[in-house]
């Protein structure tokens, strides 16, 4: 009864004018399940009180599928990304996927990148300047590993030879 009451009423929203969201309720319930399962595993409790919560009082089960890759899935994805070098678009896709997978950039951050954002610092380390999109705290300089830096450089080289880029450069000159 206490757990069901807490999930329904206990957590407070960070936004005073709103009630607690269903997602937050699911997450609190998941945390309680894990905490009490640990207590049972340690023999601190005989049974988890979370297991006694009636089905109608439980939030929907949180679907974690697709949120986290297993180690084998990660290896399969990153090794396939490294093979993307057959044509101009695969060079571009490889650079983008490396930034998304290895450095955790958001799609909107990748879309906002320009050629000038790929830089080298004083120690010749390749860095990427990420501009603040949603707020000033989000701007940062991101050091790139060698493989990602090489994939971005490869895309920049391929890009400079694309006809559309050459035409644009000629028009600007």
Residue 75: predicted pLDDT: 84
Is the pTM value of this prediction over 0.75?
A: no
Residue 135: predicted pLDDT: 65
Q: Please state, rounded to an integer, the average pLDDT across all residues of the chain.
A: 81
Residue 137: predicted pLDDT: 66
Q: How far is residue 16 from each of residues 9, 11, 13, 96, 123, measured CA to CA in Å? A: 14, 12, 6, 39, 48
- The DSSP element (H or E) to which 132 belongs, if any, is none
Query: What's the start-to-end Cα distance of the chain, in Å?
Result: 74
89 pLDDT higher than 60? yes
Residue 82: predicted pLDDT: 80
CA atoms of 77 and 66, how far apart (whole Å)? 13
Percentage above 70 pLDDT, the chain: 88
User: What does the block give as tokens for 28?
Assistant: 């609190």
* Residue 151: HSE in the Cβ half-sphere, 13 Å Cα cutoff: 25
Contacts of 109 (CB under 8 A, 6+ apart): 130, 131, 133
Average pLDDT score over residue span 83-110: 87
Q: What is the DSSP letter of 47?
A: S
Residue 44: predicted pLDDT: 92
CA atoms of 100 and 154, how far apart (whole Å)? 17
142 pLDDT higher than 70? yes
63 pLDDT higher than 70? no
């Amino acid at each position: 009864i206490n757990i069901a009451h807490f999930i329904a009423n206990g957590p407070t929203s960070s936004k005073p004018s709103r009630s607690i969201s269903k997602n937050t309720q699911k997450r609190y319930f998941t945390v309680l399940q894990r905490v009490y399962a640990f207590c049972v595993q340690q023999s601190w409790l005989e049974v988890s009180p979370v297991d006694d919560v009636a089905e109608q009082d439980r939030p929907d089960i949180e679907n974690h599928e697709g949120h986290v890759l297993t180690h084998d899935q990660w290896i399969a994805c990153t090794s396939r990304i490294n093979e993307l070098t057959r044509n101009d678009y695969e060079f571009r896709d490889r650079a983008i996927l490396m930034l998304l997978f290895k450095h955790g950039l958001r799609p909107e951050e990748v879309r906002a990148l320009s050629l000038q954002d790929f830089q080298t610092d004083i120690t010749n380390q390749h860095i990427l300047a990420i501009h603040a999109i949603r707020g000033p705290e989000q701007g940062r300089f991101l050091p790139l590993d060698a493989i990602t830096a090489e994939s971005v450089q490869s895309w920049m080289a391929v890009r400079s030879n694309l006809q559309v880029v050459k035409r644009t450069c000629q028009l600007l000159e």
